Amino acid sequence: MTKMNRRVALGTSAAVLLAWAGTDGQAANAALVPDTIRVGLFLDLGSKYQSTTPVATLVSAGGLGLSWVGGQGNADYPAPGGTVRFAVDAYRAMVLETADFSTAQTVLKKIQASSKAGFVTKLTKKGKTVYQVSEGVYSTATAAQSALAKWAAATGGQSSLTPAYVAGPLALEAGPYAGAGEASAAAVQLGNAGFDAFVAVKPSAEGTAYVLRIGSASSQAELTKIQAAVAAAGFTAKLPATNSAYAVIRDDVTYTGSATNSAPLYALPAAGGAALQADVQSDGSIQVVERSKNKYRGSMQISVLNNNLAVVNVVGLEPYLYSVVGAEVGSSWPAEAQKAQAVAARSYALAGGVTYQIADVVDNTYSQAYNGLGSENANSTAGVQATAGEVMTYGGKIITAMFGASAGGMTADPLEYAGNAIPYYAGAVKSPDDGIQKGKLDWYRVALDSGTVGYIRSDLLADKGQKNEAGLAMLTVTGDNVQVRPSPRVQSDVQPIASVNAGTLVLSLGKAPEYTNNSWVEGPLTADKLLATINAKLSDKNKIQGPLRTLEVSETGASGRAVRLKANGTTVQLYGDSWRSALGGVKSTLFKIDETARATIVGANGTSREVPDGGGTLQVLGGDGTVRSLDSAGGNAIVLNGTGQVRAITASPQFIITGTGYGHGLGMSQWGALGLANQGYDYKSILQYYYKDIKIEKDGAS
């Protein structure tokens, strides 16, 4: 998807997103525009939102420093080097322990072929360096035990210094120590005695306390045995306080792939509320490897939420928008379109407050596209800076400024989504979105002699005035090896359906714009596929019964968007954007459905028959006088309807969905904003065109 084509997703509850603050439009408290925003990169909020990773790797050329978050002590903990990793201190399948690094790497690669949670930890035991290969970040010992059985074959028969086992988060604690050096020396002593011992940091009144975590037990009984063994070896250790915050530091060689170049991995407890913040030690950015290696401004806060790692980027509001605007609209778009997008994006980001429990927004289209530094450009940054602090308000409250890529010529009416009008939306207004088609050629839908129906680009055909026996227009192919495409576009990953040479005559079934986010066609879609995707959105009692024979738009809203459909003659009720996924992921709900098997047949005796009706096959009388069964006529038959329009029909139900626009269509259309900017509208006029009765305020001042 290009930067221009990304859009804001409507989400699962239109009624929530379309709610507005205030009741009578009178001025309320001045809008507050904060300096920073919290962006969730990885979060687990259950059914509301879920984007998880078993490990997060942060990299900064300028080095990283860590500190505790939330009043847990404010002294920085300098992380060595510029790479730091984070995970949950949870249950793991301990697959192998070996003194041979290459063996550890071989086993790790087998695990990584099907798991993102493979780890190699380096530690000292009994006077030598060993490598522990583990898999998983599991919330229960039972889950880790199942994984252990799965990975038994990954060792390839390699001998292990210890039998495979389930490692857990239960450990003893020793210390505190005077510093990291003293704690590391104590870990070596315990390791030489045969114990797994790791330096850990804990928040304290002084900032950070250094302790040891001894053992990785998966049950209280195992921990009791470790405690007895540690005492028998002459070491002092105790059970840590329940639910205490800590971060155990493992010497991780997974990411570096080198026995001599490791990175610290901070494992945070599933409970206890521990949260660490990573900041660059000098100028620079923080790269998050697991987020497509994107680089970000600001700080990263790492914690555990619902047993999964949570990573939140705390960044300045305006720098956040540099990336959002750069991702949402084209870098070459005029300044007024950039400014309009900046104000809309700022308003949308702030309207919901802390929407995602520990984050205001997330970094994808559930909120707004945000890719860090990689999406920034000079024009988007200028647009943000020129409108710094400006938001749209209604009744003194910042509005949820919905926007999308293209409205398809007409924005949506809120009634089409929520059944409840919103004062600051204009409803259905014309939107100049056709700029997306600029420079693109039309395509002809054509039929070949074989009965194959597809698309050929208009510059590869010539109309020489030829007609067939039925008087229908025939077009002449002007080049050799001209590809017939299943839709009006060239797709490198979709094979052409036929190839024709110069001089070939093809039957014209009409002309269509090239497939874009403003004009598109999907299909033919099979009845079985659509039945499955529609029923997936319906409750058991409302599912469509039997095969899908007919599917039609039965009601549209003020903008022309589909509101209700009928399947097999029965109304199917879904709301808003649910129709898009129900129909296999179409770009918008501003569409029409061509039922390729749907027709009214008038017989020789004047009686009519509606098909499909399950009443047997149809016989087709061709222009040459031959009669064929439609089932065996190559899949398509070309017919004239009562008004003289030519049409391709099929024996079995198939559906072609033709539409305009990309996205929900509510609020501002980004391509429409470009069109208005090119007509001379400034950004405020653009915003007031798409959002009625709003004010544009800066820190509460009109």
pLDDT the model gives residue 17: 34
Kindly report the average pLDDT of the chain as a whole number. Answer: 88
- Find, among 427, 365, 422, 312, the residue nearest to 58 by Cα: 312
Helix, coil or strand: residue 389: coil
Short-list 519, 463, 461, 459, CA closest to 487: 519
Give the model's pLDDT for residue 608.
66
User: Is residue 308 within a helix (H) or strand (E), and if so which, with residue range?
Assistant: strand 308-316
Tell me, rounded to whole angstroms, the distance of Cα 407 from its chain centroid. Answer: 21
Give the span between the Cα atoms of 568 and 548, in whole angstroms.
6
Alpha helix stretches (DSSP H) within 233-377: 317-328, 335-351
Type of residue numbered 7: R
Confidence of residue 27 (pLDDT cuts 50, 70, 90): very low
SS (H, E, C) 181-229: HHHHHHHHHHHHCCCCEEEEEEEECCEEEEEEEEEEECCHHHHHHHHHH
User: Which pLDDT value is given to residue 15?
Assistant: 31
Question: Which amino acid belongs to residue 679?
Answer: Q
In order, the DSSP letters of 502-516 are TT-EEEEEEEEEPPS
pLDDT digits (tens, 9 = 90+) for 547-587: 999 999 999 999 999 999 999 999 998 887 889 999 999 99
Q: How far is the C-alpha of 23 from the C-alpha of 27, rounded, in Å?
A: 10
**pLDDT tens track for 5-15:** 333 333 333 33
Residue 8 is predicted with a pLDDT of: 35
Q: What are phi and psi of 336, to 5 degrees?
A: -70, -35
- Give 470's pLDDT tier (boundaries 50, 70, 90): confident
Would you say how long the chain is, in residues? 702
Q: Which amino acid is at 340?
A: A
Helices (H), 38-155: 101-112, 141-150
Q: What is the DSSP letter of 675?
A: H
What pLDDT digit, counting tens, does each position of 593-649 carry?
999 887 776 666 666 666 676 555 666 655 555 666 665 444 667 776 666 677 777
pLDDT for 128: 93
- At residue 207 the predicted structure's pLDDT band, cuts being 50, 70 and 90, is confident
The least confident of 126-130, 494-498, 632-636 is 632-636
3-state secondary structure 40-61: EEEEECCCCCEECCCCEEEECC
Question: Do residues 390 and 343 lie in contact, with contact meaning Cβ atoms separated by under 8 Å?
Answer: yes
657 Cβ partners below 8 Å, 6+ apart? 521, 522, 523, 525, 583, 586, 591, 592, 593, 594
pLDDT recorded at residue 622:
58
Interacting residues of 612 by C-beta distance below 8 A, sequence separation 6+: 549, 550, 597, 598, 652, 653
For 545, the token pair is 């019964």
Q: What is the DSSP letter of 581?
A: H
Sheet holding 654-660, edge to edge: 519-526, 654-660, 591-595
pTM of the shown model = 0.86
pLDDT (tens digit, 9 = 90+) per residue, 223-256? 999 999 999 999 999 999 888 889 999 999 999 9
Q: What pLDDT is recorded for position 639?
A: 72
Write down the pLDDT at residue 217.
Answer: 95
Contact between 522 and 586 (Cβ < 8 Å): yes
506-525, pLDDT tens digit by residue? 999 999 999 999 999 998 99
Least confident of 202-206, 268-272, 390-394, 604-608: 604-608
- pLDDT higher than threshold 90 for residue 143: yes
The pLDDT of residue 160 is: 87
* H or E element in which residue 566 lies: strand 562-567
H-run or E-run covering 674? helix 670-678
Q: Tell me if 62 sits within 8 A of 280, measured CB to CB.
A: yes
Q: What is the pLDDT of residues 319-343, one digit of tens each?
A: 999 999 999 999 999 999 999 999 9
DSSP annotation of 151 reads G
Half-sphere exposure of 72 (CA within 13 A, CB side): 23
Dist CA 538 CA 567 (whole Å): 13
Nearest to 588 by CA among 494, 534, 657: 657
Share of the chain above pLDDT 90, in %: 70
Closest CA to 522 of 512, 535, 534, 508: 512
Question: φ, ψ for residue 529 (rounded to 5)?
Answer: -65, -45
The residue type of 50 is: Q
Q: Do 509 and 648 touch, CB atoms closer than 8 A?
A: yes
pLDDT at 418 over 80: no
Mean pLDDT, to the nearest integer, of 201-223? 91
Any long-range contacts for 578-584 (C-beta under 8 Å, 24+ apart)? 578/537, 581/533, 581/537, 582/533, 582/534, 582/536, 582/537, 583/522, 583/525, 583/530, 583/533, 583/534, 583/657, 584/522, 584/525, 584/529, 584/530, 584/533
Given a cut of 80, whether residue 52 has pLDDT beyond it is: yes
**Highest mean pLDDT of the ranges 71-80, 148-157, 471-480:** 471-480
For the cut 80, the answer to whether the pLDDT of residue 696 exceeds it is yes
Distance CA 445, CA 426 (A): 37
Q: What pLDDT, in 10s, does the model give residues 420-434?
A: 555 566 679 999 999
458/146 Cα distance (integer angstroms): 59
Q: Which residues pair with 566 in a beta bridge?
A: 552, 571
> CA-CA distance, 89 to 458, in Å (whole number)?
61
Q: Give the CA distances from residue 428 to residues 347, 407, 591, 692, in Å, rounded to whole numbers and listed in that order.
A: 21, 10, 15, 11
Count of H helices and E strands in the chain?
12, 45
Q: What is the structure's pLDDT at 242?
A: 83
Type of residue found at 379: N
pLDDT tens-digit readout, 521-540: 998 999 999 999 999 999 99
> Cis omega before residue 176 (within 30°)?
yes
Range in 176-180, 375-379, 539-543, 625-629 the model is least confident about: 625-629
